[in-house]
Structure 1
Amino acid sequence: MQKLTGNILLGHQKKYLIHIDEFNYFNGSLKLDKISYFIITTNNTDKYIFVEQFCYNSDGHIYSILFKGQTAKHLSHIILHLNQLNIIVSIDHALYLGRELMKSELTIILDQQYIQD
């Protein structure tokens, strides 16, 4: 058994790593979802996260769906897995939503103001 001294990865394993800075870039362009968008707000007093999804129907009219929950996990499940709501979200949008929901949950825990990116 090999003893680990500070490094978890062995030398030959490190060649498979890609420097994380290569992925931490933003090209400055924002791609909006053509089907819907989300507005996230928090209520630190009641400890709730509110997610309002604004959707466009086939006629181009807008309607909204309001979700309310206390954890990012709960809201993610409701928004992305309830098929009866017929919600379609791109992978990029789902990842963004997950990050923002975690951030909103942390702001409630830390009693901070939530600002959506």
Structure 2
Amino acid sequence: MTMDLMVEDLAAIDDQLSQRHIDLDPSGYFIIYLDREAKLIYAKHFTNVIDEHGLAVDPETGKVIPAKGKVQRTHTTVFSGRTAKELCVKIFEETQPCPVSFLDHAAYLGREFVRAEVALVTGQEYIQD
């Protein structure tokens, strides 16, 4: 098996898994981005409420928060780190109460922080999945 084929197979597995249903974390969500000049990964945390349909709702307005597109909301906290591990320690070990309540959400954030770190180091574009 060539390396290209293996990378394509791995990408196909990830694409398929990205289509599965996941319950939204009632503790909120994060917007992850890079500051290349400062050499930092940022994670803005936003609170939400999950309604009876499983949708994230703005606790202030009661309106559903769309999954795609721009939304003007105020974050509750901004975390930053030089590495994925540093961000994970700040969020999961040092912040009480922890702003993440679902293990699948924590695993997702860990994967995204690693992707962001790789993009920061290599100069690649980072777009949160």
Instruction: Report the Cα distance in structure 2 between the residues aligned to 1:36 and 1:84, rounded to whole angstroms.
Output: 14
Q: Which runs of 5+ in 1 are unaligned?
A: 1-20
Instruction: Report the Cα distance in structure 1 between the residues aligned to 2:126 and 2:75, rounded to whole angstroms.
Output: 24
Match of 2:35 among 20, 37, 43: 43
Q: 1:35 to 1:43 in 2, by over 3 A?
A: same
Superposed CA RMSD: 2.6
Give the CA deviation at 1:81: 1.0
Give the number of the structure whose alpha-carbon radius of gyration is greater. 1
Instruction: Report the Cα distance in structure 1 between the residues aligned to 2:95 and 2:35, rounded to whole angstroms.
Output: 27
Give the CA deviation at 1:46: 1.9
Question: What percent of counterpart residues are identical?
Answer: 33
Q: Give the number of the structure with larger relative contact order, counting CA–CA contacts within 8 Å between residues 6 or more apart.
A: 2
The answer (yes or no) to whether the contact 1:56–1:63 under 8 Å persists in 2 is no
The answer (yes or no) to whether the contact 2:30–2:44 under 8 Å persists in 1 is yes
Q: What SS is found at the alignment partner of 1:84?
A: coil
Matched positions, count: 95
Aligned to 2:106: 94
- 1:77 and 2:119 are equivalent in the alignment: no
TM-score normalized by the length of structure 2: 0.62
The answer (yes or no) to whether the contact 2:25–2:105 under 8 Å persists in 1 is yes
The runs of 4+ residues in structure 1 deviating greater than 4 Å are none
